[in-house]
A and B are shown apart, each in its own frame.
Chain A
Amino acid sequence: MLRALLLTVSVVAIAHAELCKPDAQNAFKVRISIKTALGDNAYAWDDNEEYLFKAMVAFAMRRYSSKSTTQISNVLLCNVTDRVSFWFVVTDSSKNVTTVPGSEVEAAIRMNRNRINNAFLLSDKTLQFLKITSTLSPPVEPSTPVWLIVFGVVLCLIVAGILFLIVSGIQKHKKKNKDSTDRENLEEKVEVTLENGIPCEALDLKPGHINGVFAADDERFTSL
């Protein structure tokens, strides 16, 4: 009984070793860069993390094929290095000692990439599946490009400035014309007074002349 058990275990182990090795068929290499992603908050990669990884892959397979046949034991990891990198392969429990085709695994991982990344607090760049390319998200484009808005603001300011200067120029011009016509009218009035021969202003301004002949003879007149 014990011998049969040992035999099965060793067969299974050898089978697993056969299935999961570098560059095996339907196997994928994973490269994880925890320190790059998390810096001081980096966690260590140990057996528990490996267990979580197997669980996430199984979860992805289940979600993709929507049949609940994939177990955590179906996911095999091997060749874990210090980098951290390893190979994994998904076996098919219905058919013994075979692996799920790579295309299915790839499609499943692709579909659930976000969930897998978040489970490990990593991103597409720091949790790399070497043969699986990720679809890049397009950059966020606002409906009106930002530069057009800024341009509109700048243009409004410039046009306002130009209009202000032109209008003030016209006003100054009108004022100058009005001033010059006012001055012309004033000069005409002055000329009118001049036409009499004697400038009226001169007459008004000059103090009256005392006729010395009469002024000097105060004593002639009898005092009242």
Chain B
Amino acid sequence: LSAAPEMPKEDGRPKWDNKFQYILSCIGFAVGLGNVWRFPYLCQIHGGGAFLIPYFIALLFEGIPLLHLELALGQYLRRGSIGAWNTISPYLGGIGVGSWMVSVLVSLYYNTVLTWVMWYFINSFQEPLPWSVCPLNENRTGFNEECYESTAVNYFWYRKTLNITPDIAESGKLQWWLILCLAACWLIVYLCTIRGIETTGKAIYVTAIFPYLVLTIFLIQGLTLPGATEGLIYLFTPNLNTLKNPRVWLDAATQIFFSLSLAFGGLIAFASYNPTKNDCEKDAVTVAIVNSMTSLYASIPVFSVLGFKATTAYWDCLDRNIINIINEFDLPEESIMRQNYTSWISFLNSSYPEKIAGLKLKSCDLQEFLDQSVSGTGLAFIVFTQAIILMPGSQAWAILFFIMLFSLGLSSMFGNIEGVFTPLLELQIIPKSAPKELLSGIICLISFLIALSFTLGSGSYWIDIFDRYAGSVPLLVIAFFEVIGVVYVYKIKRFSKDVEWMTGRKLNLYWQIAWRVISPLLLLIVFMAFVTLQMLKPPSYTAWNPKYEGFPMKEEKVYPPWVQAICVLLAALPPVCVPLVALFHLVKQKRRSKDPSSVPPEIFSCQGANS
């Protein structure tokens, strides 16, 4: 039964002020911190320009079809994730519940990352920057030991910001400065999401557009720095041999998937506020392409700055060696420069080998410095902050950089919160007479209280766990069920008709093939490969332990069993909702059919958009 809905009724559902707001919200949700600190890293370790090949293949066959599916679903059914899946079939309602759960878990830890960004932001107003100098030890004869053995940026991140404990089992205390910043972050989120898309729609103009401005400024600045060209050449030089490694294809697929923020339910929520006669096909292609272009665009300033940092480190290494040689041989100053260093070294090595050996000079290799690849928080808070110190006018660059990171994260938070807020609003958790502001306030308050646990000394280890387990495998499973649910339960023919009604033109064969075969197959392969790789080695983490012999290297530790149990719980709980809800409805159905005096059994609900 294909019930084409009548003209959209005035159902009092909030709507976007204009199409641009909607597109911008989707782009803001998709473009997040991962575009800046994960994509350039993947490019670097997987053969530079060659990585773009698996990336674009994954975009074409996995990213765009799934994105189109979610947007079309939300737009047609005009419901959030839980409501939409309940409408398709009560047995599939678990998909919506799983999406909602993942959105909750991710919102909790994502805002704590923003807390760290805010902490760095408010510390950027000082001269000199607090992460550029080591504090003195107690008797003021030297620098603090932990800081001296690692670097000032490391010390500021691990000690002054996180106050990290050496083991995940040691919780440490709540860090009051992080609690203040966390409160501020949740207040900002509340301010922007207080009335749902009414307020986020206005805020998104700033938070989605501002990062592009800053990226452009950094691009111009980055290209003028010495060593930028080395960094860019290093990044983009393709090494086609890496394509033989299946790991590269897996990383490309997972990156596209997580970068587009699929299976969170946020995209369905955004699309549900659209008028039904909207071209969702064009929207999906636009959002996906803008997201990928942003990743590429962001990697240019990132790698210019990394090249600059590697070059400066290389020069520092050379300079230190030169000073040692000059002091040892009492040569006049500026006799050995960087340019003639190699000739001098070979001359001295032949004439005084023992003296040179006694100096224990470090070998300075630019390639080695470029090879030091970092992703994630390490890139932003350690590597980039170090590079910023070396730039003239560091305060301004630091402030710009951290506001940009904050905007990127905040626009993604809007999507996450919308994925939590819209289904709750539809389930009518609070009475209809109560204002929307109350529900968003309750959500933000409860999330803040739970997220306080991330401000403990061991908090960053827990955030890594959430990121690795709650924000990865469940999404793959839920997306797989989404595609299967739409294609085989809702039936692809019906869905095609719905999409054709919305867009006004016939569905391209590409979508049919992608939805029916390619995307589910790809998701299955990616999921199995992902799980296999995770299970190959026991889950471990690296801990910052000043008492470790190899300090400042991080200590590799294995998770204790109770932590591993939590990891499994986080990964399994959202996907397990799907069969649980189906089972629940099956049992309810069976009980109804057994009891003859009850209301006639519900038919397998096949309604269309009866919002």
Point out residues on A near B: beta carbons under 8 Å: 31, 33-36, 81-85, 133, 135-136, 138-139, 146-147, 150-151, 154-155, 158-159, 161-162, 165-166, 169, 173
Contacts and interface: CB of A to CB of B under 8 A. Distances in A.
Interface in B109-153: 118-119, 122-123, 125-126, 133, 135-136, 140-143
B187 A138 contact: no
Interface stretch (B255-263, B323-331, B485-493): B323-331
10 contacts: A35-B333, A35-B334, A83-B327, A83-B331, A83-B332, A83-B333, A147-B119, A151-B122, A155-B184, A165-B199
Given A147-B125, A150-B122, A162-B187, A138 B140 contact: yes
Interface stretch (B21-29, B188-196, B510-518): B188-196
Nearest to A37: B333
Nearest to B195: A169
B246 interface: no
Nearest to A166: B437
Interface of B: 118-119, 122-123, 125-126, 133, 135-136, 140-143, 180-181, 184, 187-188, 190-191, 194-195, 199, 326-327, 330-334, 435, 437
Contact of A151 (B181, B191, B327, B334): B181
Contact of A158 (B119, B184, B334): B184
Given A151-B180, A166-B437, A31 B327 contact: yes
A186 B191 CA distance: 38
B199 A158 contact: no
Contacts of A173: 435
A162 B190 contact: yes
A105 B333 CA distance: 28
A29 B150 CA distance: 30
Given A136-B140, A162-B191, 16 more contacts: A35-B333, A36-B333, A82-B332, A133-B141, A135-B140, A135-B141, A136-B143, A138-B140, A147-B126, A154-B122, A154-B184, A158-B191, A165-B195, A165-B199, A166-B194, A169-B194
A173 B140 CA distance: 62
A158 B122 contact: no
A83 B180 contact: no
Contacts, number: 74
A155 B326 CA distance: 54
A84 B140 CA distance: 29
Contact of B122 (A33, A147, A165, A169): A147
A65 to B, nearest CB: 24
A169 B142 contact: no
B435 A82 contact: no
A169 B435 contact: yes
A45 to B, nearest CB: 10
A133 to B, nearest CB: 6
Given A35-B334, A151-B180, A154-B184, A139 B135 contact: yes
A82 B331 contact: yes
A34 B126 contact: no
A81 to B, nearest CB: 4
Contact of A147 (B123, B142, B143, B437): B123
A85 B122 contact: no
A82 B143 CA distance: 32
Contacts of A31: 327
A14 to B, nearest CB: 25
A151 B119 CA distance: 9
A155 B333 contact: no
A166 B194 CA distance: 8
Nearest to A82: B332
Contact of A162 (B119, B181, B194): B194
A33 B333 contact: yes
Contact of A139 (B119, B133, B332): B133
A169 B437 CA distance: 8
Contact of B187 (A85, A135, A158): A158
Given A158-B188, A165-B199, A169-B435, A83 B123 contact: no
- For the complex of A and B, list the 10 residue pairs with the smallest distance between their C-beta atoms, beginning with the closest: A81-B330, A82-B332, A83-B330, A150-B122, A35-B333, A147-B122, A146-B126, A158-B187, A147-B123, A161-B191
Nearest to B118: A154
Contacts of A147: 119, 122-123, 125-126
A108 B133 CA distance: 29
A136 B136 contact: yes
Contacts of B195: 165, 169
B14 to A, nearest CB: 14
Nearest to B194: A165
Contacts of B331: 82-83
A136 B333 CA distance: 25
A33 B335 CA distance: 12
A36 B333 CA distance: 8
Contact of B125 (A34, A133, A150, A165): A150
Contacts of A138: 136, 140
Contact of B142 (A33, A136, A146, A158): A136
A174 to B, nearest CB: 12
Nearest to A170: B435
A151 to B, nearest CB: 5
Contacts of B194: 162, 165-166, 169
Contacts of A83: 326-327, 330-333
B324 to A, nearest CB: 12
